[in-house]
A and B are shown apart, each in its own frame.
Chain A
């Protein structure tokens, strides 16, 4: 047994030495991804992994990833480990990683850390990326508003954070733009990734009379619940059509491939911009999934028209007058919301049924 310990110690020591010499010349870009959920979530993390595969395929990048890393000090450890292995370009694909990423970035100036925005702070070697997901949600709202028969639409929302709230509000405006009488009910699951809980929330909405269920969650569970009930759903994060082909009306899709590729190409060329980058319909960071065959052609045309207007900047989603659930006017007539104001959304529009996002 003592010999066993000796062998173990030898292995550890040898491997230490080997580890020090591992940083050889690098021709291929080494890119690491840190995921908050499992790749199999079929949503948020899945889409980021698509981008990782894209980098490997198009740029011959040497990629690594770690799944299911909580938004705690854990992520700093993983980042340090990647940097030690020479993976100095790190996509940290959850908002909650930012605080820890900033500290790691300070310690390792040669590292490039790309976080998920909105940025809470930047450093010369830190960039955040995010998209105007609410632009896509507005379009899906048009489809939902046209397709509902019961005039009740449900929305399964993750956390009441500003970007999610903005998406719910935009969705509602999309619905009401074609169907002013539709009711919209929101349920907060307070989790990004919890398939059974998401499903239960969707069922509650279906029981309350909704015949279309939209969502902002990392998995297709809400959509699947709608399909099982013979109702319709709106996807989120990825193309979720394959999970419920008969029920999938359309949905928003995150597409990080080109954004990520551009950043990596820049780093390879020695360029890196520290910024809080926003994509959207214009740069196709946010796109729509395929339309259900039953969606009428005029609705499809309307959606395409709005999409082009939003991308060109000729159509503003959040135009006054807008009031909150209590009826208080938040945006006077004739005004439009700035990006900063949209990112500060902590109230739901008048007419949306469901708990206010904050209890402050």
Chain B
């Protein structure tokens, strides 16, 4: 540390604070390394070779073009639904119904795909994308209207509607939409080729583009538009929003519809980009994982995309761990531990940031 030679001796030497970005990168990397270190102890204690397990995990998530594709494919629904959740949370709306909105989006898109007959892709693809978004939006508007006009707690209503939506999927794939050649197993006919989303890179379908556009759109909306300002204001303080005369009810409808539309897009992407049919269990809980993704990303749109990719890698890596001979329980435990450490790191980072800001304000203002 080099301070001026003339510095008076009574001044306490200020601790050299690293720049903020070093802190951010350092804490995050540190928490991941710490998670792996503790995980290694567990692996070793249960008789598994940590180096081998981690190598398999990394290879399974990023180690081949197939792995990268699969990680990205999985990240698409997490990112889209995560963006929707993040938008709603930003306004203080606890939309935990992304799973159901995703399912209804998938249903709406599947309806077109299964009944499109000989329509060309140029009609079917935009159509099912739109229908997916509309389906998710419609499903989200139910709790939104209940909240805006009747004061019904949206946590309960969105959560409950998840089950209703999933049962609708069951009803259709066991019944009217069941594949006649599938011995009544719960899935539909395969979609015609015209209803398959084009692929961008390997298995990565056009939904990736939608996720990027959605992230950009959301970042723009929240940071650069009046609606975004209003949404953030409502989320930060209902009283201040009322004070400023923001039409809170209309914004609830807008935000929930957009949030649901994004989840619906995720559903449409899964059926037309990945599975090419609608089936029972089409989402392994993407809508719920999206909530964690949104939180870890601290509701920031671009961070949601990044976290979705990391999460997808983590989830894929978990199955890979099992193929490497690590029991399921330990694989899940490792996943949970990494998540816990990452969350703890984010918390620490927030504390550090706050300390910085308070110190800056103190330095300037008299007590």
Contact = CB atoms under 8 A, between A and B. Distances in A.
Interface string B144-180: 0000000000000000000000000011001110110
Interface string A1-13: 1101101100110
Given A1-B30, A15-B59, A71-B279, A159 B323 contact: no
A8 B171 contact: no
Contacts of B184: 159-162, 165, 346, 357-358
Interface stretch (A78-86, A173-181, A288-296): A78-86
B111 interface: no
Interface string B19-58: 0001001110110110010000000000000010011101
A227 to B, nearest CB: 28
Given A8-B32, A15-B58, A15-B59, A70 B320 contact: no
B316 interface: yes
A163 B183 contact: yes
Interface in B255-286: 274-275, 277, 279-284
A172 B178 CA distance: 26
A328 interface: no
A81 B54 contact: no
Interface in B67-102: 70, 73
B319 A78 contact: yes
Contacts of B66: 80, 84
A214 B363 CA distance: 77
A190 interface: yes
B73 A12 contact: no
Interface of B: 22, 25-27, 29-30, 32-33, 36, 51, 54-56, 58-60, 62-64, 66, 70, 73, 170-171, 174-176, 178-179, 181-187, 190, 274-275, 277, 279-284, 316, 319-320, 322-325, 328
9 A-B pairs with the lowest CB-CB distances in the bound complex, closest first = A15-B55, A1-B26, A161-B184, A66-B322, A162-B183, A359-B175, A67-B328, A4-B33, A81-B323
Interface of A: 1-2, 4-5, 7-8, 11-12, 14-16, 18-19, 32, 38, 64-74, 77-78, 80-82, 84-85, 87, 95-96, 99, 118, 120, 159-163, 165, 190, 343-344, 346, 357-360
28 contacts: A1-B25, A2-B29, A7-B33, A15-B55, A15-B58, A15-B59, A19-B63, A66-B322, A70-B284, A72-B279, A72-B282, A73-B73, A77-B70, A80-B66, A80-B70, A81-B319, A81-B323, A82-B323, A85-B323, A95-B183, A96-B185, A120-B181, A160-B184, A190-B170, A344-B183, A358-B175, A358-B178, A359-B175
Given A8-B32, A360-B175, 20 more contacts: A1-B29, A11-B55, A16-B59, A66-B322, A67-B322, A80-B70, A82-B323, A84-B64, A85-B323, A87-B323, A96-B186, A120-B179, A159-B174, A165-B184, A190-B170, A190-B174, A346-B184, A357-B184, A359-B171, A360-B178
